[in-house]
Structure 1
């Protein structure tokens, strides 16, 4: 069952909060109990939290309610904790995964500090991970260029009154729906992806390029309009997505092939990485 909840494929949700990583407590519990069912892991955590409270443990009180991507793709509040709190929590759950998880948490903290001091390290590690999973250099270049375009768009939103979390997700979905004729969630479903998977990590070259075109167009249109807030930014999101849609339709008419496909980079179940 290890391969169902690998550490290194984004199955443990995390967020940078108050200058440190906070991790989903339920995801940590899922790893410790080797339980892929989210609802069962949630119930386990609820019972464990009750016991810890009765014992006077500070683990529960040190958890924060933070917004992370939920199973339905929306940002929802869930219990999250920093490394120090999680190390205490791990001691409360007998599990053969305890020691590997402790090492993983320690490594995450060290890597983040290194990235802050030298941002290129994060880029290098992402490239190495994609290479490890068999991505071509051409694909990696497109993925990284697309991420840079995405970052510039979210920087614009941040500077112009769009709230991180739900509002980013709303605008992203408008752009995506406009150019693909699919919501982000429907696109993930088409590709057979589950909640923790990053859709962009499973896009083909054309999907990556057109996503970048849609987001580049959105930012430039928003900038020309000086759009502020969620309501005003919905307009450039639709227009930017439409530009990429027109490009998609033109390409499809010339090639006779659909740009949007069900292809993904998921490893066969028997080859999936296991926790070591």
Structure 2
């Protein structure tokens, strides 16, 4: 089985768990916090009260389409897994909102050049088997002056860095004793760990890798914030994942 198919199969089985997760975010402060951090990075050419055409890549159960269509923007959301798209449709329906939802490989997009004002993604780039090619595709479908925003973390870097490994093991022990659970709860944790050891991004120091790639691809401006956790994670999230902080990295075409 090739890596891309293996990744797809894994995330098909994780859809229900992730849908439960976004339900918690939608009733918490994260609903507003994520919308603010995305829209404050809108393209410079955006006029007041103008609706953006936004591509959400690896939408999962549809968190970004909900919070951004609610704000009046036009959202197209894709995911390689049918189950994630199914949950996304259900979650949008519950909220009384609409978005264009499609099953699609994020590394080979079925969109014309210069289509979107923004391309955004959260916790998806670490799962890609060829992120450089994906970033080239995302660059292609952005309009000139459009913005790419990537939100992610170095989830498995501890497997390749002894200091981070020690911190991770200490935190895992503490979380297990305090909450009787692991840091990450997946339906198939063994396959998740196996993928973590073999995925392209797992041993990369980020967002340094991303910044270099975006420059090479042709983004005219690149930027990064190495830790946005105080803005978008609650206290429990920071306690679980404090040694793998969420970063934001992006570029302007």
TM-score range, shorter chain: under 0.3
> Which structure carries more strand by proportion?
2
